[in-house]
């Protein structure tokens, strides 16, 4: 009799972990131990609306550690249950992105960008694994519809900041991609606006790439005029005075919040993480870079306070490389070439004065 009781207790002990696995608390599944409340919760969830093909729509999730111990983040991922391409939703770096651990009582942010390249409906879930407690946290399902075409490029408002380049003519703001030798694309890129090349004549990779609200101009009068205007715009941008305190040579752009102004690098510039540009609709930013511009994977340029990408200028003395998954913003006016690597997005324009523009499954949209 006593042995049977002991066996019953042993069976019950073996079953308890299975019972706790089924417990759900505010979308958190807990499989180790029973706690009075959820260890991790979403304290802020974005409300994504419907959007257009070629539009980039960002939203920030905030998660909070409610436990008294450090919790390890095992993974942050997007579960895809729809027919849209995987690249239609990407996790990008945010100003306060989550690291490997969350401290007790602390919160962190996760920036998720929706960037569809085709009509359809999202059905995706942001999912976070907390390894140290065996928790899995699911955000509410994203069900946004992609049911329209993004509007054409527009002329940005005239800046009122003390220093800004001489604006090019309105027709130049229709040019989203400009190459000097070639424009090449791989994958399902979407470009909102014209794609031009001059004095070269080769534009390849469309399809599978798509152009919205624009046309192709290869070695014609329109492309030649666009090239001349891009060169004049570059000359105007690099001629602006850069205050000594705004010389960022040797410093990373990531992790900074910058007011409007002219900033300069004597040589190369690097962006790792997030750069926040905080101003208003008529604020002007000019970055004068002596040689190359390079961004790390999942870096981002965040525009706050109504700053428009048409009033953010990157005058690059050599080549620009926008890293995988980077969410970049502004007009890149580079002396040599411009490369957007896989899944990078550009809220702005890419003008290469003497080299090629290379795309790989990107969204280039001056109006997003």
Q: Which domains does the chain have, with CATH numbers?
A: 24-149 (2.60.40.10), 170-364 (no CATH)
Instruction: Look at the block and give the residue holding tokens 């976070």.
Output: 128
Distance of CA 61 to the CA centre of its chain: 15
Question: In tens digits, what is the pLDDT along the chain, a chain of 368 residues?
Answer: 434 444 433 333 333 333 333 334 444 444 433 343 478 888 889 989 999 988 888 888 999 998 898 989 988 999 999 999 888 888 875 555 688 889 999 998 888 888 888 899 999 999 998 876 667 889 999 999 999 988 889 888 888 877 889 988 889 999 999 999 999 999 889 999 999 999 999 999 999 999 999 999 999 999 999 999 999 999 999 999 999 999 999 999 999 999 999 999 999 999 998 999 999 999 999 999 999 999 999 899 999 999 999 999 999 999 999 999 899 999 999 999 999 999 899 999 999 999 999 999 999 999 87
Buried b (16+ CB within 10 A) or exposed e, 270-281: bbbbbbbbebbe
Q: Give the residue from 34, 63, 44, 33 showing the smallest Cα distance to 129.
A: 63
Q: Give the residue from 158, 126, 146, 131 showing the smallest Cα distance to 54.
A: 146
- Rounded CA separation 23/30 (Å): 6
Contacts of range 96-99, beta carbons closer than 8 Å, 24 or more positions apart: 97/273, 97/274, 98/63, 98/73, 99/73
Task: Identify the three-state secondary structure at position 367.
Answer: coil
Q: Whole-prediction pTM value? A: 0.79
């Amino acid at each position: 009799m006593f042995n049977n009781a002991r066996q019953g207790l042993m069976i019950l002990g073996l079953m308890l972990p299975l019972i706790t696995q089924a417990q759900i608390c505010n979308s958190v599944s807990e499989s180790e131990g029973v706690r009075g409340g959820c260890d991790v919760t979403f304290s802020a969830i974005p409300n994504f609306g419907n959007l257009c093909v070629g539009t980039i729509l960002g939203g920030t999730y905030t998660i909070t550690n409610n436990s008294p111990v450090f919790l390890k983040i095992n993974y942050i991922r997007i579960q895809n249950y729809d027919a849209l391409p995987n690249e239609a939703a990407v996790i990008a770096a945010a100003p306060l992105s989550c690291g490997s651990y969350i401290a007790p009582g602390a919160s962190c942010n996760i920036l998720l960008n929706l960037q569809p390249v085709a009509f359809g409906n999202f059905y995706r879930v942001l999912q976070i694994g907390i390894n140290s407690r065996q928790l899995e946290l699911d955000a509410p399902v994203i069900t946004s519809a992609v049911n329209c075409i993004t509007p054409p490029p527009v002329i940005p408002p005239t800046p009122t900041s003390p220093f800004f380049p001489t604006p090019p003519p309105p027709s130049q703001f229709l040019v989203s991609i400009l190459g000097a030798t070639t424009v090449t694309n791989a994958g399902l890129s979407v470009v909102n606006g014209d794609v031009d090349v001059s004095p070269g004549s080769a534009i390849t990779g469309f399809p599978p790439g798509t152009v919205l609200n624009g046309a192709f101009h290869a070695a014609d009068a329109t492309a030649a005029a666009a090239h001349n205007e891009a060169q004049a715009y570059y000359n105007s941008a690099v001629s602006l005075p850069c205050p000594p305190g705004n010389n960022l040579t040797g410093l990373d752009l990531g992790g900074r919040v910058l007011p409007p102004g002219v900033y300069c690098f004597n040589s190369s510039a690097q962006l790792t993480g997030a750069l926040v540009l905080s101003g208003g609709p008529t604020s002007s930013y000019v970055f004068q870079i002596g040689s190359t511009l390079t961004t790390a994977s999942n870096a981002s340029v965040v525009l706050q306070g109504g700053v428009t990408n048409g009033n953010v200028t990157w005058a690059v003395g050599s080549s620009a490389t926008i890293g995988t998954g980077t969410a970049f913003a502004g007009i890149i006016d580079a002396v040599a070439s411009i490369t957007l690597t896989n899944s990078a997005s550009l809220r702005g324009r890419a003008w290469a004065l003497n080299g090629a523009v290379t795309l790989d499954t990107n969204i280039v949209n001056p109006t997003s």
